[in-house]
């Protein structure tokens, strides 16, 4: 097959959160960019990840709010759930954002978009459809796919992943979820609120990457809402069920006891596999392993012409991380500025209700690195939380030597938004004095930041030297 030769400045492989950011930013400076995308523009986040999951969570929150309204003296009764309308809302959210990520928009920015599968044929050439692309630099942003665990019997039953879940236009009668990470836990609460019975089977601890004290509050809320969360349980076998039960899960707990969980639907949420297969990475001299493409803190692969960003580069798998890495790569490609990706600065939020946000080090991580102070403020101490009857929450601030803010974690109402404030503090390497010195509007939940900073200084007020100084000043009149 004779191919059309292209020689752009930059070739981006993958049109998801990472790839689109690189392409749009580089094109906005007039750089010649080719973008290759084999599937839907927008990648996982828009089509099968963040956007549909958050749209479903929003619908579910309205159902939960209706149920909880009686606490405030407002009686609306048990909400009726119209599954088709919920599905339409989810698809509507995707459709509203899709034009921003579309081929048309990128072409209008000056990007040449090739809709085909890309594959390296040598260290500086990629083939995609009818094109042969020899670019000055390549950016690999092919994302990740759901990891399917090797559970006996799984291949012979039908199951959902994030790639098929949002096409459901019914609410499962009984949903079993394997995996208690952010995907499993967010979806468990959403489907439970929309009327499904939900069982989550997690072989270790649910939300294990989070501060256990904060995770316990989010998971407690799920359990109170009726999610059957089974931690420390191994799925030893899966088989087709009978009658209403499409699937049976055979579980073994840590104590050796065995149980069977039957469900109408099964969701696999056991992590991700970087999309590296079929990319010709060997031909290009790009080292990779099960965790993804190997990159240094400069985001360069073992082929100096090729950078990798987002899920395919392993590490933290979030849209904002892919976008941030993309921005760093653009700075390097266009302005030759050095890159130093700092994962410790990256915030994350699990969108449970209450949500759980974290940035910087958790208390346990900080303690491993040396002495630190963990300041804690329960939501019950915040007037706004009392007014909202949203006292189920906790804010933690981890402070290191000379008052340096090392980390912060929030679980509670609007923790997702409050995390932004702490992300700024960490990214600017602020000290706790910066949080003590700003005025926060009353009554807000974000006031917690200033209140925690005040707690840091409280012991100082009890120091004898401070008392002596105060009495001296008093005597001066």
Ligand X SMILES: NC(=O)c1ccc[n+]([C@@H]2O[C@H](COP(=O)([O-])OP(=O)(O)OC[C@H]3O[C@@H](n4cnc5c(N)ncnc54)[C@H](O)[C@@H]3O)[C@@H](O)[C@H]2O)c1
Ligand Y SMILES: Cc1cc2nc3c(=O)[nH]c(=O)nc-3n(C[C@H](O)[C@H](O)[C@H](O)COP(=O)(O)OP(=O)(O)OC[C@H]3O[C@@H](n4cnc5c(N)ncnc54)[C@H](O)[C@@H]3O)c2cc1C
Binding of ligand X by 367 (CB under 6 A) = no
Binding map of ligand Y across residues 144-163, x = CB under 6 A, - = no contact:
------------------x-
Nearest CA-CA partner of 86 in 106, 58, 64: 58
Among 48, 325, 350, 362, indicate the residue that binds ligand X (CB under 6 A). 350
Among 6, 9, 32, 38, indicate the residue that binds ligand Y (CB under 6 A). 38
Nearest CA-CA partner of 343 in 356, 324, 368, 367: 324
d(CA 67, CA 446): 26
Q: Which of residues 247-286 bind ligand Y (CB under 6 A)?
A: 275, 279
Among 13, 154, 366, 435, indicate the residue that binds ligand Y (CB under 6 A). 13
Residues 6 or more apart whose Cβ sits within 8 Å of residue 158? 246, 247, 266
Residue 167 marked as a ligand binder: no
Beta-carbon-side half-sphere exposure of residue 27 (alpha carbons within 13 Å) = 20
How do beta strands 137-140 and 10-13 pair? Answer: parallel
Per CB under 6 A, which region of 14-22, 217-225, 232-240, 285-293 contacts ligand Y?
14-22
Among 23, 35, 50, 206, indicate the residue that binds ligand Y (CB under 6 A). 50
When the beta carbons of 58 and 69 are compared against ligand Y, the nearer one is 58
Binding of ligand Y by 416 (CB under 6 A) = no
Question: Which residue reads 């917690």 in tokens?
Answer: 448
Neighbours of 367 (CB within 10 A): 13
Cα 467 to chain centroid distance, Å, stands at 48
Using CB atoms within 10 Å of the CB of residue 119, give its burial: 0 to 12 exposed, 13 to 18 middle, 19+ buried.
Answer: middle
Q: Which of residues 281-300 bind ligand X (CB under 6 A)?
A: none
When the beta carbons of 166 and 379 are compared against ligand Y, the nearer one is 166
Smallest distance from the beta carbon of 218 to ligand Y, in angstroms?
A: 15
Sequence-separated contacts (24+) of 279-288 with Cβ below 8 Å: 279/13, 279/118, 279/119, 279/120, 279/140, 279/142, 280/119, 280/120, 280/121, 280/126, 281/120, 283/120, 283/121, 283/122, 283/123, 284/120, 284/122, 284/123, 284/124, 285/123, 286/120, 286/140
Residue 186 marked as a ligand binder: yes
Among 8, 16, 182, 407, indicate the residue that binds ligand X (CB under 6 A). 182
Among 310, 357, 360, 400, indicate the residue that binds ligand Y (CB under 6 A). 310
When the beta carbons of 183 and 246 are compared against ligand X, the nearer one is 183
Name which of ligand X, ligand Y, none residue 39 binds, using a CB cut-off of 5 to 8 Å depending on partner kind: ligand Y
Smallest distance from the beta carbon of 279 to ligand Y, in angstroms?
A: 5
Sheet holding 174-178, edge to edge: 228-231, 197-202, 174-178, 265-268
Name which of ligand X, ligand Y, none residue 350 binds, using a CB cut-off of 5 to 8 Å depending on partner kind: ligand X
Binding of ligand X by 186 (CB under 6 A) = yes
How do beta strands 394-399 and 373-378 pair? Answer: antiparallel
Binding site for ligand Y (CB under 6 A): 13-19, 36-39, 43-45, 49-50, 53-54, 117-118, 141-143, 162, 183, 275, 279, 310-312, 317-320, 322, 351
User: Which residues sit in the known binding site for FAD?
Assistant: 54, 142-144, 311
Q: For binding to ligand X (CB under 6 A), which residues are involved?
A: 149, 151, 178-184, 186, 201-204, 208, 235, 269-272, 317-318, 348-351
């Amino acid at each position: 097959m004779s191919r059309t030769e292209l020689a752009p400045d930059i070739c981006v492989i993958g049109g998801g959160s990472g790839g689109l950011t690189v392409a749009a930013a580089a094109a906005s400076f007039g750089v010649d960019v080719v973008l290759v995308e084999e599937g839907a523009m927008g990648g996982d986040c828009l089509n099968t990840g963040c956007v549909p999951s958050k749209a479903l969570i929003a619908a579910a929150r309205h159902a939960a709010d209706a149920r909880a309204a009686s606490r405030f003296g407002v009686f609306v009764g048990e909400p009726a759930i119209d599954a088709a309308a919920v599905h339409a809302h989810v698809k509507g959210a995707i459709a509203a954002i899709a034009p921003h990520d579309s081929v048309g928009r990128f072409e209008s920015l000056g990007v040449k978009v090739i809709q085909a599968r890309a594959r390296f044929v040598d260290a500086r050439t990629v083939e995609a459809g009818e094109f042969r692309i020899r670019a000055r630099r390549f950016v690999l942003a092919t994302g990740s796919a759901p990891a399917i665990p090797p559970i006996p019997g799984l291949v012979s039953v039908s199951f959902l992943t994030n790639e098929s879940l949002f096409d459901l236009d019914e609410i499962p009668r009984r949903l079993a979820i394997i995996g208690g990470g952010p995907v499993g836990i967010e979806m468990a609460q959403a489907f439970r609120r929309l009327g499904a019975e939900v069982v989550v089977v997690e072989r270790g601890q649910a939300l294990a990457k989070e501060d256990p004290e904060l995770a316990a509050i989010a998971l407690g809320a799920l359990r109170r809402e009726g999610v059957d969360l089974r931690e420390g349980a191994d799925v030893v076998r899966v088989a087709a069920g009978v009658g209403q039960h499409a699937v049976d899960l055979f579980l073994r707990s840590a104590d050796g006891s065995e149980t069977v969980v039957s469900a109408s639907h099964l969701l696999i949420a056991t992590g991700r596999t970087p999309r590296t297969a079929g990319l010709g990475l060997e031909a290009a001299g790009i080292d990779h392993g099960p965790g993804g493409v190997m990159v240094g803190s400069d985001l360069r692969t073992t082929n100096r012409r090729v950078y990798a960003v987002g899920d395919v580069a392993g590490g933290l798998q979030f849209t904002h991380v892919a976008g941030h890495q993309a921005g760093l790569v653009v700075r390097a490609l266009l302005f030759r500025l050095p890159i130093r990706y700092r994962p410790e600065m990256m915030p994350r939020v699990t969108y449970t209700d209450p949500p759980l946000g974290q940035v910087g080090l958790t208390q346990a991580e900080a303690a491993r690195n040396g002495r630190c102070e963990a300041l804690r403020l329960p939501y019950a101490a915040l007037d706004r939380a009392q007014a909202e009857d949203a006292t189920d929450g906790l804010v933690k601030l981890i402070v290191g030597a000379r008052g340096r803010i090392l980390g912060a974690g929030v679980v509670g109402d609007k923790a997702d938004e409050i995390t932004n404030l702490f992300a700024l503090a960490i990214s600017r390497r602020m000290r706790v004095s910066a949080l003590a010195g700003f005025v926060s509007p009353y009554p807000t939940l974000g006031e917690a930041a200033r209140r925690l900073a005040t707690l840091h200084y409280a012991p100082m007020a009890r120091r004898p030297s401070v008392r002596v100084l105060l009495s001296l000043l008093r005597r001066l009149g």
